[in-house]
């Protein structure tokens, strides 16, 4: 059969998802075909151009009308977080499989309603997945596999950071990502969600307690003429930033490990620097998105003469996802995680299994984010250093 997809939204994630939907059936041997059928957006002219550019069969402006169609099987949600819940619940209740961008929602309440809708839909064979694509970088899946097989022994510490610097310039306008009513939170939900999911994914453990702080570094920004992003004409006005720019927090995991997290848009010079290091009793594993075809491995049992972090080049056919692509040493990039996401979703739909991360996993991340916000709101967490 062919899965006909409708994608709601068409910004940066719309472009990345479009590449995934078009590459997956051409590179991987999928049980079902995939058709990029309808692209949905509010601005008729803009969405028509985006549909032509990214190869979607039709353009539409009414998502409710599209998810009611019998000839749509999958709804892919790449809108800002303020519409994830409404669209996903309606699509699941209409019997459509759903892929929803991260974070799952803008609040725990919304995420709980989405997870409940996914539970309601599952007995009908309807599947739901959250778009944490970095799990699907081969080196990250390999990291998870090596931890699971005990390669580094018992995990004792995890340290994860996601550092960007696109907001260091105070003249960057007040886009939707900087407004709580549209984004839910700032760096914490936008990029902190990725490292919380990744820490849980690679260790198989879950965050059960956090202590953290958040900061809004630039509190007012220029307002531009359009809501959804940075396009539009300057209005000469400024508006309040209502989300965090930086989130720093510690986490206790249910397997006993201690974790530290940094999510910031003010790491000057860092463009999209996601790193994670997992330290165990027998060794360590470290991943850096800026070197995404590599995984660093330290083996405590190695003879001292050769001991040190070694580099695994994750391009062998034995490595996750790699055999479908190129010969060893021919690298993958940022967009390949979106292709692997489609592969795993299509295979789960065909196989009648739950694609991961499920909405329940997305809810777990949402609860962690909310706990960090609650911890940060409690000013008593700070102890003054007596001078």
Binding ligand SOE by CB under 6 A: which of 37, 59, 92, 191? 191
Pick 280 or 357: Cβ nearer ligand SOE? 357
Q: CB of 141: closest distance to ligand SOE in angstroms? A: 17
Under rule CB under 6 A, how many of the chain's residues touch ligand SOE?
Answer: 5
Nearest-approach distance from CB 191 to ligand SOE, in angstroms: 5
Give the Cα separation of 320 and 102 in Å (integer). 22
Question: Within positions 11 to 30, which residues make up the interface with ligand SOE, using CB under 6 A?
Answer: 12
DSSP string, 307-358: -S-EEEE--STTSTTGGGS-STT----TTHHHHHHHHHHHHHHHHT---SS-
Footprint (CB under 6 A) of ligand SOE, residues 23-62: none
- For 362, phi then psi, to 5°, come to -65, -35
- Nearer to ligand SOE by Cβ, of 272 and 323: the residue is 272
Nearest residue to 312 (alpha-carbon basis) of 345, 288, 346, 335: 288
Q: Which is nearer to ligand SOE, 23 or 164 (CB)?
A: 164
CA atoms of 10 and 12, how far apart (whole Å): 7
CB of 334 to ligand SOE, least distance (A): 8
- Regarding 272 and contact with ligand SOE (CB under 6 A), the answer is yes
Alpha-carbon distances of 189 from 57, 233, 290, 316, 372, rounded to whole Å? 32, 28, 21, 34, 10
- Residue whose CB is less far from ligand SOE, 164 or 179: 164
Question: Closest residue to ligand SOE, Cβ-based?
Answer: 190
Task: Write down the least CB distance from residue 80 to ligand SOE, Å.
Answer: 10
Binding of ligand SOE by 326 (CB under 6 A): no
Q: What's the min distance (Å) between Cβ of 12 and ligand SOE? A: 6
Which of residues 35, 76, 190, 244 is near ligand SOE by CB under 6 A?
190
Q: How far is CA 302 from the centre of its chain?
A: 35
When the beta carbons of 85 and 284 are compared against ligand SOE, the nearer one is 85
Nearest distance in Å: CB 66, ligand SOE: 24
Strand boundaries in the chain, DSSP class E: 2-8, 33-40, 58-60, 74-77, 97-101, 128-131, 155-163, 207-215, 220-224, 234-240, 246-253, 258-264, 273-280, 283-288, 294-299, 310-313
Task: Return the residues of window 137-166 that contact ligand SOE according to CB under 6 A.
Answer: 164
Among residues 97, 115, 124, 116, the alpha carbon closest in space to that of 348 is found at 97
Residue 2 vs 272, nearer CB to ligand SOE: 272
Distance from C-alpha of 88 to C-alpha of 310, rounded to nearest angstrom: 43
Shortest Å distance, C-beta 51 to ligand SOE:
21
Q: How far apart are CA 189 and CA 81, in angstroms?
A: 10
Q: By CB under 6 A, is residue 197 in contact with ligand SOE?
A: no
* Chain positions contacting ligand SOE, by CB under 6 A: 12, 164, 190-191, 272
């Amino acid at each position: 059969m062919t899965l006909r997809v409708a994608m709601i939204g068409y910004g940066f994630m719309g472009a990345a998802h479009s590449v995934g939907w078009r590459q997956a059936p051409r590179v991987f041997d999928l049980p079902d075909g995939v058709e990029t059928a309808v692209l949905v957006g509010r601005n008729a002219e803009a969405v028509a151009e985006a549909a032509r550019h990214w190869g979607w069969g039709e353009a539409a402006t009414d998502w409710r009308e599209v998810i009611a169609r019998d000839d749509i099987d999958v709804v892919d949600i790449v809108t800002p977080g303020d519409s994830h819940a409404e669209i996903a619940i309606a699509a699941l209740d209409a019997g459509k499989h759903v892929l929803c961008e991260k974070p799952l929602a803008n609040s725990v309440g919304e995420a709980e309603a989405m997870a409940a809708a996914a539970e309601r839909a599952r007995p009908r064979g309807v599947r739901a997945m959250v778009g944490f694509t970095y799990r699907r970088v081969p080196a990250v899946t390999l990291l998870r596999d090596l931890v699971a097989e005990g390669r580094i022994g018992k995990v004792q510490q995890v340290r994860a950071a996601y550092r960007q610097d696109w907001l260091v310039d105070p003249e960057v306008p007040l886009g939707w990502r900087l407004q709580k009513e549209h984004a839910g939170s700032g760096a914490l939900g936008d990029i902190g969600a990725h490292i919380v999911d990744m820490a849980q994914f690679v260790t198989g453990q879950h965050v059960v307690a956090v202590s953290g702080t958040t900061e809004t570094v630039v509190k007012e920004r220029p307002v531009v003429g359009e809501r959804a992003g940075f396009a539009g004409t300057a209005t000469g006005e400024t508006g309040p930033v209502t989300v965090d720019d930086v989130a720093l927090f510690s986490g206790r995991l249910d397997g006993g490990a201690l974790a530290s997290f940094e999510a910031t848009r003010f790491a000057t010079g860092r463009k999209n620097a996601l790193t994670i290091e997992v330290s165990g009793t027998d060794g360590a594993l470290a991943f850096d998105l800026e070197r995404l075809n590599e995984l660093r491995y330290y083996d405590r049992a190695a003879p001292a003469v050769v001991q040190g972090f070694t580099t695994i080049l994750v391009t062998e056919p034995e490595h996750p996802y790699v055999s479908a692509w190129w010969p060893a040493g021919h690298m993958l990039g940022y967009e390949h995680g979106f292709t692997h996401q489609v592969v795993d979703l299509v295979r789960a739909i065909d196989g009648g299994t739950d694609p991961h991360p499920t909405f329940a996993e997305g809810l777990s991340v949402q609860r962690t984010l909310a706990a960090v916000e609650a911890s940060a709101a409690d000013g008593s967490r700070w102890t003054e250093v007596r001078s």
